[in-house]
Amino acid sequence: MTGQQIIKKARSEGRSLLTEIEAKELLKGAGINVVDTRLATSKEKAVSISKELGFPVVLKIASADVVHKSDAGGVKLGLGTAAQVGKAYGDIMKAIKKEYPQAKIEGVSVQKMARAGVEVIVGMSKDAQFGPVLMFGLGGVLVEILKDVSFRIVPLVKRDAREMIHEIKGYPLLEGYRGSEKVDVSNLEELVLKVSDFVDKTPDIKELDLNPIFAYSDGAVAVDARVVLEDAS
């Protein structure tokens, strides 16, 4: 499906929140590197997709009604065998039915377990005066507790992308602080620019979060994505 088809489908179903799989497909189409992620509508399918992708894998609840997947027990990491995948599928369904009895569940998303990297986030939200604004920061607890983030107004030029990455307080972590992996920062700059171009060309998107992106010495990959659409006009 093209980006416009994904957006149209969600709208036709009365949804403004895209699923993780839809959001990743949209971003992939914009040239942004995401973990290959597939939908499994049964336990058996989750196992067969895991075998195709190769272990270890990650299972996540696939439901447009569940925004914070891990809070609800909807994310199982590092599954190394078919038996573990089968059990994780059951555990996720049980947890979600308890936390969100009303949720419409599509199944689970199945993806490769990505190698650990430095976690960063890229987000977009719309400001009443400035329009789309991009945010960059270190991911995980660092963004939640320290709010170590930077902002630029869309569309960004190369220099904006470079500056917004360099100006966060945690920047030394990207340079390989005390044994952490030295990150390919120019690749991150390109990623930020691609997101800027994409949101600039796609006014249907109201909010976007790539959280987290795993940054490495030789590239970066988004392992989670959230996209909220504007209300249909």
- Contact residues toward Mg ion (CB under 5 A) are 211, 224
Which of Mg ion, ligand ADP, none sits in contact with 50, Cβ below 5 to 8 A by type? Answer: none
Residues 123-142: x/- map of binding to ligand ADP (CB under 6 A)?
Answer: --------------------
Residue with smaller CB distance to Mg ion, 47 or 149? 149
Cis peptide before 132 (omega within 30 of 0): no
CA distance 209 to 224: 8
CA distance 70 to 68: 6
Shortest distance (Å) from residue 178 CB to ligand ADP: 20
Shortest distance (Å) from residue 61 CB to ligand ADP: 9
Residue 163: partners with Cβ closer than 8 Å, 6 or more residues away: 150, 152
CA distance 129 to 219: 34
Which of ligand ADP, Mg ion, none sits in contact with 77, Cβ below 5 to 8 A by type? Answer: ligand ADP
- Tracing tokens 């307080």 back to the chain, one arrives at 169
Tell me the residue length of the chain.
233
Residue with smaller CB distance to Mg ion, 196 or 211? 211
Residue with smaller CB distance to ligand ADP, 128 or 141? 141
How far from each other are the two terminal CA atoms of the chain, in whole angstroms? 22
Residue 69 in the binding site for ligand ADP (CB under 6 A): yes
CA distance 59 to 113: 9
* Residues 151-190 within binding reach of ligand ADP (CB under 6 A): none
Interface residues with ligand ADP (CB under 6 A) are: 35, 58, 60, 68-71, 75, 77, 111, 113-114, 212, 223-224
